[in-house]
Amino acid sequence: MSNEFPGWHGTTIVAVKKGGEVVIAGDGQVSLGQTVIKGTARKVRRISPGGYDVLVGFAGSTADAFALLERLEAKLEATPGQLQRASVELAKDWRTDKYLQKLEAMLIVTDGDQIYVITGAGDVLEPEHNCTAIGSGGNFALAAARGMMDSDRTAEQIARDSMAIAADICVYTNGKLTVESISK
């Protein structure tokens, strides 16, 4: 057994685009090792740099995610209305800046039109199938969301139902959700 600090685990974030709306849902569980530290964390946020609404969901270290949110806001203020450009600029900084390279988080961002997953490896990924997910239960939520995309469910119903499935499977995910939506 390692003597290292156990680290923060958990989080499931899912984004679903359907019917002219994008919904991001995130669970509220924060775990330290095998212990639940908090069950009602808010991991989905709306930011509005320069009056331009963007939804952000984050997985990983909370402090790291907030550092990235601040950087993303600055990039969006410098390039108003250009989410893709701001996301690419953030990913470039994240990959090349020695301070940012140590940050352990992932982001899903949307302006209601585009959805991107931004990683510390320099990735800005635009998901296929109008849904994506990150975090420890992300694969479960993504599989569930993709399976529901052709149903009559709304984007919000798909996001909520896929999060419920992930919470039933992943021990680092709970059912206390933060759900935000945005339309373009």
Tokens linked to 115: 């959805």
Q: Which entry of 11, 12, 110, 132 is annotated as an active-site residue?
A: 11
pTM: 0.92
Residue from 56, 61, 57 nearest 73 by CA: 56
The predicted model gives 89-115 an average pLDDT of: 87
Catalytic residue list contains 154: no
Condensed to tens digits (0 to 9), the pLDDT of residues 105-140 reads 889 999 999 999 998 888 999 999 999 999 999 999
Q: Is 173 annotated as a binding residue?
A: yes
The predicted model gives 30-40 an average pLDDT of: 88
Q: Is 131 annotated as a binding residue?
A: no
Domains and CATH numbers, the chain: 8-175 (3.60.20.10)
User: Taking all residues of the chain, what is their mean pLDDT, rounded to a whole number?
Assistant: 90
Q: Is 96 annotated as a binding residue?
A: no
Q: Cα–Cα distance between 134 and 66 in angstroms, integer?
A: 16
